[in-house]
Chain A
Amino acid sequence: MTLRKVLGKGSVQVVVLLVMALNLIPLIIAFSTSLRDPSNNTNPLVLFREMSFGSYKAAFDRMHFPEALWNSVVLTGVSVVFVVLFAAMASYPMARLKTKLSKFMYLFFLSGLVVPAQMVLIPIVQMINALHIPTNQYTPIFMFITCSLPFSTFLYTGFIRSGVPEEVEEAAHIDGAGLFQRFWTVVFPLLIPVTVSVIITQGVWIWNDYFFNMIFISSAGDSPLPLAMLGFLGDQQNPTQWNVLFAACFLCALPLLLAFLFLQKYFIGGMTVGAVKG
């Protein structure tokens, strides 16, 4: 019996290791390849034979890494701040008022989740032009905010309903706090767990998005990281330099990987706030 248990545990460990290895093989090989000099074209299956940062240097220069990183930070940062403010505010009446209108609004926002942006792109661009919003590197922010609203209001509304007792508000009301003051000083601070969740889920997709950036940003110097990646795929004349391409891939992912390394708890917790409580 004990032998079987030990064997069982051992084999589980082996299975987990195998599954993980299989899962991560593309990343491991890409990482090993990125550590080769751009001129090394030998078989990438020979892992970690060379330790050169030549490809990283080439990728760093070609994607204008510091500028691209800064552009990503600005786009994501500004968008996420507005998403948090707008979604938290909009969810407040949807969670608190038990009217037909508030129910309708909840579903109205949520249903936006099923519409893909590619489908409505031309009317969106027309709208942006009609409103005389200049198309530059900051234009995608409008779309990032808009497209984040359905899921964020879903998370906030669920959290306010189940996680913020009405009694705390009643107490503030008796103390003479107005609606505005009550929301910002009593309710909003209690929303921190779900705010973390919104920042992470929406921040990751906005950071990684290439589509809206591709539509609105035309000059290379304005590109955020994922868009800067597009320049690395070769064509007939200039075949893809895989070593450099992979280095660019890791440079592009590096900021999020670092964030994940330090904020793991929040990433994993943040994914599940909405999911488990629902």
Chain B
Amino acid sequence: MSSTVMKKSMYWFALPALIFYLTFWIFPILRLFQYSITDYNGYAQAYNYIGFDNYKELFRSDILGISLKNTLIYTFVTVIAGNIIGLALALLLNMKIRGTGIYRSLAYIPTLFSAIVVGFLWSYVYMPDYGLISSFLDKLGIANELNFLGDYSTALYSIIFVEIWKTIGTTMIIFLAGLQTVPSDLLEAGRIDGCGSWRLLRHVKIPLLATAITINVTLSLINGLKAFDFPFIMTNGGPGTATNTLIYTIYKMAFTEQLFGKASALGVISFAVIIVITAVFVLKMNKREVSA
């Protein structure tokens, strides 16, 4: 078909995008591999090649394991909880009740706020003593010492919750659009065959939502693996290293500790982790979607 109509010369159309993409994205990524075997500090002109020392050091220290673990928890919880809550909201708003249009818009509003604004709002919600949750419990007469962001055991989950809150509107809208493509005669047929609402959901709706599920899960997976905003804005990675995600650790290593070589090595490792997890997942999902 690439005959006289679809000429090969249309490749020229990709040139402006390719120039930008190669110059400002691909080339810097390749430099990362180069810097990962140097002792470059990020600003000095001179640096030395030190072989795999950065990698060895990373594998010997705790920070790699801690950041990796935090990132995986962050990703796992946002993917699972985010999609379940998003789907539940979509199912709820897909029912024939009054004012669904307004509810839909309201549920979408948090996605419009900048991460900075969301971080500030939730810092207030979580603040000890005067914050929303603490002062509300005080009102109820429950004395509390809650410090969501300052406590090792709750800090990570607290920022995960914020991430879910911010992204749930998008997830829900995509599920809703998927639900609206489910043909109503198929649901009718199911009901006549005696399916309850759970079985309708499990055996009719969810299989037909395969595309929406793939999109939502893929987006939240990538989003989670790249997590940076809320550790940066709300906790500075703390307390201790409790909310150090891979990307936050890289940022801190490069700019606070000025170990750009080591940060690059961690970048290369993170890059591999992200690529492998995403690729395995996308391949699996695609297989499922076809067979479903």
Contact = CB atoms under 8 A, between A and B. Distances in A.
A149 B20 contact: yes
Nearest to B2: A97
Interface string B3-23: 011111111011011101101
A27 B1 CA distance: 55
A268 B211 contact: no
Interface string B236-273: 00000000000110110010000010000001001100
Given A89-B13, A233-B120, A272-B177, A260 B112 contact: yes
Most chain A CB atoms below 10 A, which of B24, B124, B267, B275: B24
A254 to B, nearest CB: 10
Given A16-B93, A142-B20, A278 B13 contact: no
A209 B18 CA distance: 23
Interface in B97-152: 97-98, 103-117, 120-122, 124-125, 132, 135-136, 139
Contact of A114 (B10, B109, B124, B274): B274
Interface residues of B, number: 87
A267 B108 contact: yes
Contacts of A13: 97-98
Nearest to A170: B5
B71 to A, nearest CB: 11
Contacts of A127: 23-24, 27-28
Interface residues of A, number: 92
A92 B24 contact: no
Given A97-B2, A143-B24, A226-B117, A115 B271 contact: yes
A53 interface: no
A276 B124 CA distance: 37
B271 A276 contact: no
Interface in B12-49: 13-14, 16-18, 20-21, 23-29, 31-32, 35, 42
A112 B215 contact: no
A43 interface: yes
A204 B108 CA distance: 13
B154 interface: no
Given A26-B122, A114-B275, A229-B116, A183 B98 contact: no
A146 B247 contact: no
Interface stretch (B51-59, B187-195, B222-230): B222-230
B222 A166 contact: no
B135 A119 contact: no
Contact of B116 (A12, A210, A272): A210
Contact of A149 (B21, B168, B250): B21
Interface string B75-102: 0000000000000010011010110000
Interface in A16-37: 16, 19-20, 23-27, 29-30
Contacts of A256: 112-113
Nearest to A251: B117
A169 B4 CA distance: 11
Contacts of A115: 25, 29, 271, 274
Contact of A118 (B1, B122, B211, B228): B228
B181 interface: yes
Interface in A143-197: 143, 145-147, 149, 153, 166, 169-170, 173, 179, 183
Interface string A97-122: 11101100100010111111011111
Nearest to A260: B112
Nearest to A230: B116
Contacts of B25: 112, 115, 120, 146-147, 149
A113 B120 contact: no
Contacts of A267: 108
A253 B174 contact: no
A257 B138 CA distance: 33
A87 B222 CA distance: 21
B212 interface: yes
Given A97-B10, A149-B21, A252-B114, A120 B28 contact: yes
Nearest to B227: A116
16 contacts: A19-B92, A20-B103, A20-B107, A24-B109, A26-B165, A27-B121, A90-B16, A97-B11, A113-B222, A115-B29, A146-B24, A209-B114, A260-B105, A260-B108, A271-B173, A275-B211
Given A99-B2, A114-B226, 14 more contacts: A26-B122, A26-B165, A92-B10, A111-B275, A179-B7, A179-B10, A229-B117, A249-B113, A253-B117, A260-B112, A271-B173, A275-B174, A276-B181, A278-B211
Interface of B: 1-2, 4-11, 13-14, 16-18, 20-21, 23-29, 31-32, 35, 42, 89, 92-93, 95, 97-98, 103-117, 120-122, 124-125, 132, 135-136, 139, 165, 168, 170, 173-174, 177-178, 181, 211-212, 214-216, 222, 225-226, 228, 247-248, 250-251, 254, 260, 267, 270-271, 274-275, 278
- 10 tightest A-B CB contacts, nearest first: A123-B28, A90-B17, A272-B177, A208-B114, A123-B31, A116-B226, A90-B14, A86-B17, A146-B24, A89-B13
